[in-house]
Amino acid sequence: MKKVLFFMLAAMFVPVVGDAAALTGLYQTIDDKTNQPKSIVALYEYTDDDDVALAGRIVALYGPDGKIAETIANPVKVADKVKGAPKFVGLDIIWDMEWDDDDSQYEDGKIMDPQSGKVYSSVIWQDAPGTLNVRGKIGPIGRTQHWRTLDAAAMPAELKNIDMSKWTPKTGNK
């Protein structure tokens, strides 16, 4: 009985660790000024040498009317400030993020502002289900955006069965 009681008490003090894979999926990015959806980003894991890393690719853009204007099936707008002037949709804006079990967050990776082409250090974590905190920074100074888990009802048909299992970040972004 003493052993059972000991193990029950010990289990209460084991820290809960977040699950890295639980953060993969589709997210709505929100415009800081208008608080309206701006894009949909697919966060996916890939193998980098022998490590598993997280990356994020823009898979859809919203128009000024708040409706989906472009998807991976029909990219239009060009990210002219990014090397090679790729389309916004299909562009990897996050790469090399590594999961830190101690802090329950992704870190040590990069995030790119596709409007300017500038690249920053990044940290990604989740405080509560449904919202992802994505921070770009230079040293201690930075900005955090709050991305929303994409509601399945709001998801464009071509994104419902998207297969991210073989994706790797496009090297032109690095």
CATH of the domain at 82: 2.40.128.520
Question: Which two structure tokens, joined as six digits, stand for 78?
Answer: 């060009």
Q: Is residue 152 part of a domain?
A: yes
Q: Is residue 165 part of a domain?
A: no
C-alpha pair distances (Å), 120 with each of 22, 72, 86, 92, 137: 24, 25, 19, 14, 6
Q: What is the pLDDT along the chain (174 residues), one digit of tens a residue?
A: 443 333 333 333 333 335 666 799 999 999 888 889 999 999 999 997 888 999 999 999 999 999 999 999 999 999 999 999 999 999 999 999 999 999 999 999 999 999 999 999 999 999 999 999 999 999 989 999 999 998 888 788 888 889 999 999 985 554
| Model pTM above 0.75 | yes
Q: Is residue 170 part of a domain?
A: no
Q: Is residue 173 part of a domain?
A: no
Radius of gyration in angstroms for the set of CA atoms belonging to the chain, rounded to a whole number: 18
Q: Is residue 75 part of a domain?
A: yes
> Which domain range does residue 119 map to?
20-158
